[in-house]
Amino acid sequence: MAWKRSWKLLSIDLWDSLRPLGFDIMLILVGAVSGVFSVLQPITTPANAANSVLGIIIFITALYLALRASSDLVNLTQAGVMRVYMTYPISRRDVSLILYFSRVFIPSIILLGIPAIVTGVMLYPVVGRNLLNYVAVWLAYILQVQLYGSIFVLTSTQTKSSGTAAVMSIVGYFAYVATSLILSLIGSIDNIKLLTQISTSMEFYNSVYYKITGAAISNWELVVSPIVFVVLFLSYVIYFARRFES
Amino acid sequence: MPSSILMLENVTKKFGKFKALDNVNISVDRGEIRGLVGPNGAGKSTLIKTSLGLLRRDYGKVLLFGKDPFFDPEARERVGVIYERPALPASMPVIEFLSKAAEIYGSTKEHLRDALELVGLEDQAYKPFSQLSAGQRQRAAIAHALVSSPEIIIADEPTSNLDPVERNKILELFLEINQERKLTILISSHVLHELLRISSTITIIKSGKIIKSGTPDEIVRNISMTRIRCKDPESLKELLSSLGFSFTSEGGNVYVKTEEKGIASKLLNALSDYIKKGNDIYGIEFVEPGIEEILEE
């Protein structure tokens, strides 16, 4: 019964989360971009195929989620719809999970899934050689987006203004990416291996890509991003279940 | 079956250092219409949100159907909620949203049709919520509250955004729901006379504290007002003052406290003499007291 109720609430919130016109434009955009990038670059391995296309798409996806998962959730609270959700006989923990699924997980699966399918079809001769590697890199991107999404939903529970939530989320995303880039640059220029490793570990898809392609990579570099995601995600769920007030 | 559906015991809710609810005790019994009245910022919405488990209390106990609504979602199983600003997903057709809401509660389609019919929204149900007028939105929100087959409806200032005609219709609807369906209703407002019309019990709240609670008669028993509209309020005020009446004035209106029948009769005699002396009086009206008069008492 609880699952059935949660499913119904999920379907209500998905209507808003995937509403036109924004989501439709995003679908066309990611589909077109992935089609173009699939044929622009010389691609030799399945992992390379996934990485070269999804590396661009993750940027678009993150910005979209920053608006839908952060700013729109604050709007939902300000408009009073969140109060309506919270008065249903559904536990606060389940509501937090429903919102995460509808605002982060499902949109990210679609927005990263369509380019993966487009690239998979267009470059099937390459991708088909090792579908498992291709899917592994795709899943790594999915997890990375969940990490960003967790930052966004956590931000939405802490702010009262949708504008502030959007700005904080986008700034947070760019700060994370820039930190990784700067560490990588300093590490390469000054030959400080630890900085390069931290940079790699901050982006899970890089760790997985290096692992698949046989580059030297420590095991800890593979677990940093998943751990950060789990911590952020649990913080969001626990905060929502125990402290969030609408 | 316990007679009390909702019970708050020594509930305190703080926002920072500000006490929005201060040691509040209230019990809403099955079948009653409980009016919660207080000026803006008195703590009405905080009390309602705390009762529903939307806000976390700092101290005290909240029981809705014997369960703590903050931790136990089943406490909200048989509760319909209506807010001051009706908010349903804006772009979704009302009927579609209500169907899904009905499924959350395990209600049937007949139940949904029944709710739409009761609020008179059958013809507008296929429109998105954003395309409805203020009154229709509130009706949609009431239909939403009814699809859960509730035993209690909790309404937080449901008439505050409506024009007087819609206000009356919505209040009549609450009365009808209570009388025909035997639903318990907790309704808040800052307009006392609205709730005096429909409530079986009134609770007055101010600065987060329950000031008074009782039947409408008990609440207004000793406070009645007479409003006088006249051409020259100053001369009337002089007369009233000389005769020892307690009064206030607002614009061209003079409000006289007429707690006892003797005082009302004395006032009418005085006004009769006042008119005989050639002064103009446009209207005399016995009015129910406002929240200010109750709080002043």
Three-class DSSP category at A192:
coil
Q: Which residue has the tokens 């007002």?
A: B225
* Secondary structure of B120-136 in HEC code, one letter for each residue: CCHHHCCCEHHHCCHHH
Which residue of chain B has the CA closest to A5?
B104
At residue A39, the pLDDT reads: 79
Among the partner-chain residues B53, B54, B100, the one whose CB lies closest to the CB of A12 is: B100
At residue B261, the pLDDT reads: 66
CA A136 to CA A80: how far, in whole Å? 40
At residue A215, the pLDDT reads: 85
| Interface mutation vs chain B, best among A8, A23, A84, most B CBs within 10 Å | A84
pLDDT in tens, A214-236: 888 898 999 999 999 999 999 99
CA atoms within 13 A on the CB side of A132: 2
What is the mean predicted confidence (pLDDT) over B99-126?
89
Backbone phi and psi for residue B185, each to the nearest 5 degrees, phi listed first: -130, 130
Q: Which residue has the tokens 């909620």?
A: B81
pLDDT in tens, A126-141: 888 889 999 999 999 9
At residue B255, the pLDDT reads: 87
CA A195 to CA A205: how far, in whole Å? 17
At residue A43, the pLDDT reads: 80
Of A111, A142, A128, give the one whose Cα is nearest residue A226.
Answer: A142
Peptide linkage before B47 cis (omega within 30 of 0): no
The CATH classification number of B225-295 equals 3.30.70
Three-class DSSP category at B279:
coil
Among the partner-chain residues A4, A12, A242, the one whose CB lies closest to the CB of B97 is: A12
Instruction: Tell me the pLDDT of chain B averaged across its residues.
Output: 88
CA A100 to CA B106: how far, in whole Å? 24
CA B135 to CA B162: how far, in whole Å? 6
Query: CATH: 3.90.1300.10, 3.30.1370.60, 3.40.50.300, 3.30.450.40. Which one for B4-220?
Result: 3.40.50.300
| Interface mutation vs chain A, best among B95, B100, B161, most A CBs within 10 Å | B100
At residue A101, the pLDDT reads: 94
Q: Which of residues 13-52 of A touch B (CB under 8 A)?
A: 15-16, 19
What is the mean predicted confidence (pLDDT) over B120-126?
87
Tokens of B23: 């040691």
CA A88 to CA A95: how far, in whole Å? 9
pLDDT in tens, A15-48: 878 877 778 888 888 888 888 887 777 888 888 8
Q: Are A148 and A57 in contact (CB under 8 A)?
A: no
Among the partner-chain residues A5, A19, A243, the one whose CB lies closest to the CB of B104 is: A5
At residue B23, the pLDDT reads: 93
pLDDT in tens, B129-184: 889 888 889 889 999 999 988 999 999 998 887 888 888 888 998 998 898 888 99
Q: Are B189 and B161 in contact (CB under 8 A)?
A: no
DSSP state of B42: S
pLDDT beyond 70 at B297: no
Residue A157: exposed, middle, or buried by beta-carbon count in 10 A (0-12, 13-18, 19+)?
buried
How does residue B251 score in pLDDT terms, banded at 50, 70 and 90?
confident
Residues of B in contact with A93 (CB under 8 A): none
Tokens of A38: 């699939």
CA B14 to CA B20: how far, in whole Å? 6
At residue A235, the pLDDT reads: 96
ipTM over cut 0.85: no
Q: What is the largest CA-CA distance in chain A?
A: 59
* Secondary structure of A1-27 in HEC code, one letter for each residue: CHHHHHHHHHHHHHHHHCCCCHHHHHH
Domain positions in chain B: 4-220, 225-295
pLDDT in tens, A84-122: 999 999 999 999 999 999 999 999 999 999 999 999 998
B242: CB partners within 8 A, 6+ apart: none
At residue B222, the pLDDT reads: 64
